[in-house]
Amino acid sequence: MAEAIRVAGAVGEYMDSVTVLEWRAKPGDAVEAGQIVVVFETAKAATEVAASRSGVLTKIFASPGDEVKIGATLGLIGDSAADTTEAGPASEPPRAGAGMAAPRRAAPAGHAARSGRIVASPLARRTARARDVDLRAIRGTGPNGRIKRRDVERAAKGGRPSPSGVPARGQGSLNLLRSGPACDTPVVFIHGFGADTNAWRWTVPHLERDHGIVLVDLPCHGASPAHPINDVIDLAREVSQALRDAGIRAAHLVGHSLGGATALALPELGGVRLASLCLIAPAGLGPDIDGAFVAGFLRATGVESLEPWLRRLVADPARLPPGFAEASMALRADPALRDAQRMLADTLFPDGTQRFDLRGALGRLQVPAKIVWGLADSVIPWRHALASPGHVGLHLLPNVGHLPHLEAPELLARLVRELIRAAA
Amino acid sequence: MALLRYAEALNAALREEMVRDPNVFLFGEDIGTYGGVFKVTRGLLEEFGAMRVRDTPISEQTLAAMAVSAAMTGTRPVLEIMYSDFMALTIDALVNQASIYEYIWAGQVRLPFVLRTQGGGGVGAAAQHSKSLDVFLTHIPGLKVVAPATPADAKGLLKSAIRDPSPVVFLEHKSLYNLRDDVPDGEHLVEIGKAVTARAGTDVSIFATSRMVHESLSAAAVLETGGISAEVVDLRTLRPLDLAAIKASVAKTNHAVVVNEGWRFCGYTAELSATIMDHAFDDLDAPVERVAQLDMPIPYSEPLEAVVIPTAEKIVAAARRALA
């Protein structure tokens, strides 16, 4: 049985909550009785909490910055890393900080990130009542997953969620999701082939507190419109136009795989000024790509056939989050979307070959740039990175596959932060 | 119709009202011989004489009390306080005299005076000559507070203010005095408490007064290039609010951005935003976005000042946040 680390009542004579400042140990660390494990702030001072026993810190319930009630359980110390059952009187764990564990957009439709409560604008609620729409069945496209009127009206018409960020005007605009503080030069994330904005849910929480974030759905992906694409430059042109339409004239670009190639091609169009560039296992630096993966991934119409291919994306399939295959398949449920992606793959990767070559663009970069590549990537060989010129930093990650943003999100966020600083 | 500067439109309003009503007289610092530091009272001393256009010493506290007393005796004084920063010195007369006498004497006494002043930043006038203290005044029940954005409204509202039976604080803006636009000749009255749609739109409503109306119009032009149709509502009167106009616009666009050049904390945007929630909550598709001055003194450096005061860029960003 694990023992709870609590906010002792004595500190709180004048208050009913405190703010967690810092954890001095990580989950899985061994701790000694008497060792300081966590520091929180009361009205008067920072208060240190020592471990009440020796063991292993097995759980943390409140992150730095979270406000917790007096008496709440901050974490658990158990005999082993697996010992997470709390001894003694059950106590409700404090609500975790939104940025910590919760995905930015809840995978199941409906509920905005934090809890079971439905987050919807007053107008969306009124509209839902008037049109007899169940808000629980709707995925919100507003900030923090908030359901807005457009989501209710789309649901009332039976449509899928689509562009947000700017009001939908015609069919042309790509889906952009914005978060974090407003700024002139946001960090723009462009996902890889077959993915969508959800790809960044593990990385973005580490960045959105300090930086404006924009997530883009490429054409034929996510909630963006689908239409024939002839070349990577077409993708770049559409992303560039969508950013300009949203008032974005300068950006730090982060692109994965096909999104990396798009990011590399985009600044040469001149519409959006590039501040820094982070390429994650980018396409466009050599001819090889795992054609069997692309074909198999596109063929899959159910979880059973999709999951084996998803496992190939990462160095250690155990690192795929629970429900990852189900959520991925749900996002690919629309046959029209899969058809559009198949056509895109036929155009860009004919016969298992990357048709386009962006090494020249890499050589012409004038801003801080990094390439991040997993040494266990089996979709695009990391050796393509060696084609890069000397001014581009290489970060080659052992035991990481094709998805560093899922497999090493904290490291990736740190590298992006370093790029932003270098560009300042 | 004549093409007049904002300052000239005010001058026309003063002249016309002084001609119309011999009880109207002006007083304040440097308004006579010098014609006012922003030339609003130019030529009036020569036309109406020193009994009706009086230069005074620097003593804002006394001047405000004089306006109250003179109004009680049946005249219609128009007092100019040179900078709204120094309105702080007039507060006692406003909060402990002007705003309550009609009330405590059951309407037997009326206080038909106008207190004109100018404030605001954007011209590098630094921390002591740039403030927007709108809420010092709008907080006080019993005072009407107007803040015109255009030459035509400057004239029409000043004439209405002078004819109003109760105290009116008239907020001008130093960077609007040279703004030139069409102004109706002669009897042009703008009703106090009535907003006007400065630009019609369908996606987001931007509420502003004074110079912020022009920043909002610039923002609306930028938003239009991104496919966003912004409506700009010029409130014109800060108190009493034109609630009907606010409700109608929010009901149309479902998104609101409120703009005021004063400080954010406990500022006018806080009141506007709460008012919209009180009266139009179910029309809102997003939280009301506020654009106000950072909570700090205005820097002398103009680039730094631009960071502190509201600008079109900040309004554009707020509108985009509302529509996200």
B227 pLDDT tier (thresholds 50, 70, 90): very high
CA distance A43 to A83: 34
pLDDT of residue A33: 84
Interfacial residues of A (vs B; Cβ cutoff 8 Å): 121-126, 142-143, 146, 148-149, 164-167, 169, 173, 178, 182, 245-247
Taking an 8 Å cut-off on Cβ atoms, the answer to whether A166 and B317 are in contact is: no
Condensed to tens digits (0 to 9), the pLDDT of residues B37-61 reads 999 999 999 999 999 999 999 999 9
Q: Which of B210, B35, B8 is nearest to B121 (CA)?
A: B210
User: Which residues on B lie below 8 Å from A142 (Cβ)?
Assistant: 286, 324
Q: A167, B283: Cβ pair inside 8 Å?
A: no
| Residues of B engaging A, defined by a Cβ cutoff of 8 Å | 203, 222, 226-228, 254, 281-286, 316-317, 320-321, 323-324
Query: In this complex, do A246 and B320 lie within 8 Å of one another by their Cβ atoms?
Result: yes
Q: Which residue has the tokens 């680039």?
A: B303
- Chain B: nearest CA to A77, how far in angstroms? 41
Region for A413 from its dihedrals, namely left if φ exceeds 0, alpha if ψ lies in -120 to 50, beta otherwise: alpha
B294 band by pLDDT with thresholds 50, 70 and 90: very high
Q: Catalytic: B129?
A: yes
Q: How far is Cα B140 from Cα B118, in angstroms, rounded to an integer?
A: 19
pLDDT value at residue A262: 95
Taking CA atoms, what residue in B is nearest to A180?
B321
Query: Is it the case that residue B324 has pLDDT exceeding 80?
Result: yes
- Model pLDDT, residue A117: 77
- Residue A337 makes CB contacts below 8 A (sequence gap 6+) with A220, A221, A226
CA A131/CA A125 separation, integer angstroms: 10
Nearest to A167 among B222, B282, B323 (CB): B323
Report the residue from A124, A146, A167 with minimal CB separation from B203. Answer: A167
Q: Which of B129, B173, B214, B255 is catalytic?
A: B129
Q: Do A123 and B226 touch (CB under 8 A)?
A: no
User: Phi, psi at residue A256, to the nearest 5°?
Assistant: -110, 130
Nearest Cβ partner for B254 among A146, A149, A247: A149
- In a 10 Å sphere around its CB, with 0-12 CB exposed, 13-18 middle and 19+ buried, how is residue A269 labelled? middle
- Helix (H) or strand (E) segment spanning residue B320: helix B312-323
Catalytic: which of B8, B29, B60, B172?
B60
pLDDT at B252 over 50: yes
Instruction: Kindly determine whether residue A166 and residue B323, on different chains, have CB atoms separated by under 8 Å.
Output: yes
Return averaged pLDDT per consecutive 10 residues of chain A, 424 residues in all: 72 64 85 84 72 85 81 82 65 38 36 61 92 84 87 78 36 80 91 92 88 92 84 90 89 96 90 94 93 89 88 90 82 82 88 88 91 95 91 94 94 94 89
Reported as a pLDDT band with limits 50, 70 and 90, residue B139 is: very high
Helix (H) or strand (E) holding A200: none
pTM above 0.90, yes or no: no
The residue of chain A nearest to residue B203, with distances taken between CA atoms, is A167
Task: From residue B218, give the alpha-carbon distance in Å to each of A386, B168, B312, B316.
Answer: 49, 30, 6, 9
Task: Answer yes or no: is pLDDT of B262 > 90.
Answer: yes
The per-residue pLDDT for A44 is 57
| Minimum CA–CA partner of B223 in chain A | A247
Size of interface A-B (CB pairs under 8 A): 54
Q: Within 13 Å and on the Cβ side, how many CA atoms surround B164? A: 25
- Best of A104, A105, A123 to mutate (most B CBs within 10 Å, chain B): A123
Q: Is B261 in the active site?
A: no
- Lookup result for tokens 């206080």: B111
Mutate to test the interface with B, among A126, A129, A138, A166 (most CBs of B within 10 A): A166
3-state secondary structure A80-134: CCCCCCECCCCCCCCCCCCCCCCCCCCCCCCCCCCCCCCCECHHHHHHHHHHCCC
Per residue in B144-194, pLDDT (tens digit) is: 999 999 999 999 999 999 999 999 999 999 999 999 999 999 999 999 999
